[in-house]
A = this chain, B = another copy of it.
Amino acid sequence: MASSIKDRVAIVGMGCTRFGELWERSASGLIIEAAQEALEDAGIEPDDVQACWIGTQSADQTGLAGLGASAPLRLQYKPVTRVENMCATGSDALRNASYAVAAGVYDIVLVLGAEKLKDTGQSGLAVTGSNPSANVANSSTAPGMFAMMATKYFARYGLAPKEGKEMLAKIVVKSHYNGSLNPRAHFQRPVSLEQVINAPIIAWPLGLFDCCGVSDGAAAAIVVPAEDARTFRPDPVFIKALQICVGPGDGAVRTDYDFTHVEETYRAGQAAYKEAGISTPRSEVSMAEVHDCFSITEATIMEDLQFSSRGRVKDDIYAEAFALKGDLPVQPDGGLKCFGHPIGASGLRMMYEMYKQLQGKAGPRQIPNPEIGLTHNMGGQPPACTVSCLIVGL
């Protein structure tokens, strides 16, 4: 019988570089920096690592597959596996490593996520759809695809254009404020509601500030069996749920797609809550890092993850429920909004914040006594997505 890996695997060390336009850094250099911090945090040496998983979308950047992680870290003759799952790449690397640990095959595993996204030339503004069969992606840009979500959301739930635009802007202001408290963020300046609303439009209603940045970065985690965790540190973080949901992507025009939610996020969330034993997400989840590639994405994710009622996320946004001092802080580290989205790194960057928050080490961003953290990644574009939903707690 299939079973959960809840509380069977723990994270005992993490590392994260500063994110940004790191033209002068190599992917290998970023990997080394993130791994070194994670190893020191766990109190172990590189030689203690028994196996490694690396999440990266551009294999060319880091050398050939596993060798890209093996070489800079001198993981001589150890198993290294590359996992790639679009924007959920880093999270899926953590998931695969966790299964190997839960299976009892390895005792100490290093998980890496890295991307020199700036080097790829991807601007985030011109994705023409590498899957030619996805109906929405053809000739669309990423902002264009998510702008369709926004306009449909406004129409469906009766938000006037100005009203919807302001709601989205409030999300942006919240995340930029959090990023301003974070020395590892790419963008560390707060922005005002007026700045966001009046910024140049990229794809209406999404303006410049509604779009996440394009950044380089790396993050790392040390994963061990739960029963060993306290031999490494007094405050390990335990995995409560690891779920991935891959959507149809079948190229057929889905006449049932409503463009106001992402079914994969809803289903991944449901599966993760079930695995973690969470019945009331809004009250039981302490904080979340979700895939806010665009402001509208964060808004709809709040509904799909059952943090807000369908069509009513606006109420929570205006009540500042997701602010650092709200009842459910979302993107406490600044999110994709302030970190950009170096694809392989993002999932682990999110986990880094959850890990530090749970340990009470998030400095000026510290949330009071969090118990459960959730990370969410979404790759592709609705209605053809890979969504990861990972839940951790002390």
Interface set of A (CB-CB < 8 Å, partner B):
1-5, 8, 50, 59-60, 63-68, 70-72, 74-86, 89, 92, 95-96, 99-100, 102-107, 130-134, 243-251, 263-264, 267, 379-380, 384, 386
Contacts and interface: CB of A to CB of B under 8 A. Distances in A.
Nearest to A266: B77
B131 A67 contact: yes
Copies of this chain, count: 2
| 10 residue pairs, one from A and one from B, having the closest CB atoms | A67-B249, A79-B244, A102-B103, A63-B131, A103-B103, A71-B249, A80-B246, A70-B246, A99-B100, A3-B104
Given A63-B249, A248-B71, A85 B76 contact: no
A8 B75 CA distance: 27
Contacts of A96: 81, 83, 96, 99-100
A243 B65 contact: no
A82 B80 contact: no
Contacts of A100: 96, 99, 103
A267 B380 CA distance: 39
Given A83-B82, A85-B82, A64 B130 contact: yes
A246 B2 contact: no
A66 B75 CA distance: 28
28 contacts: A1-B107, A2-B106, A5-B104, A59-B84, A63-B133, A63-B134, A64-B134, A64-B380, A64-B386, A65-B84, A65-B86, A65-B89, A65-B379, A67-B247, A67-B380, A70-B246, A71-B133, A71-B251, A77-B263, A77-B264, A79-B244, A80-B246, A80-B386, A81-B83, A82-B84, A96-B100, A99-B99, A102-B105
Contact of A80 (B103, B106, B130, B244): B244
A86 B64 CA distance: 7
